Amino acid sequence: MRPPGAGRETDMRKQIESALVSAAMGAAMWALGGTAQADQISVEMDKARTLSLAGQAANVIVGNPLIADAGILDRQTLVITGKSYGLTNLIALDAEGRTIYSADLVVTEAEAPQTALVSLHRGSERHSYACAGGGACTSQPMIGDSSDAYQTLTDQRASKLAASHAEAGE
């Protein structure tokens, strides 16, 4: 038999441990959130924005050119264009190949700062979507998706890009 009050002491200890774990997790999430925000930029789909750099860029790299494009306007200004919803990264290098800027790049719907990647499994086939805040989702081809869906979407995006280049006279 347990002495009177022993069960309450154990329950109290569990509640305190649970509260401490929750507080620690909350602090970790807050710290990570602050770091992620500092290293993340966003642009709306089918819009462009400029980004000022501290150093002089010689090259700019976008991780997934289906999601966004970036060019050098002048040595300290990049122009970033959102192509489709999603998350990729952006790196600017100086003339010696050193990284002068690196960040995650999120392409969102207008007025919707959040984009989430969602995978839908239908039997053995996977389909990936990028969903902007407000509930707007669009197909986001990813390696490992159904080959038919992947090919159809990449062909459509290539056609859209070719049409925009033709309109621009490029």
170 residues of the chain, pLDDT tens digit each: 555 555 555 565 555 554 444 444 444 333 333 333 348 898 988 899 999 999 999 999 999 888 899 999 999 999 999 988 788 999 999 999 999 999 999 887 665 555 677 888 888 888 888 776 666 777 777 778 888 877 887 788 778 777 776 776 76
Which range of residues forms the domain containing residue 119? 115-167
* Per-residue buried b or exposed e for 13-34, using 16+ beta carbons within 10 Å of the residue's own CB: eeeeeeeeeeeeeeeeeeeeee
Tally the domains of the chain: 2
Q: Are residues 81 and 123 in the same domain?
A: no
124 lies in some domain: yes
Max alpha carbon distance in the chain (Å)?
87
Q: Are residues 99 and 124 in the same domain?
A: no
Amino acid at 80: I
| Separation between Cα atoms, residue 117 and residue 149, nearest integer Å | 16
pTM of the full structure: 0.53
Beta strands 86-93; 59-62: pairing state: antiparallel
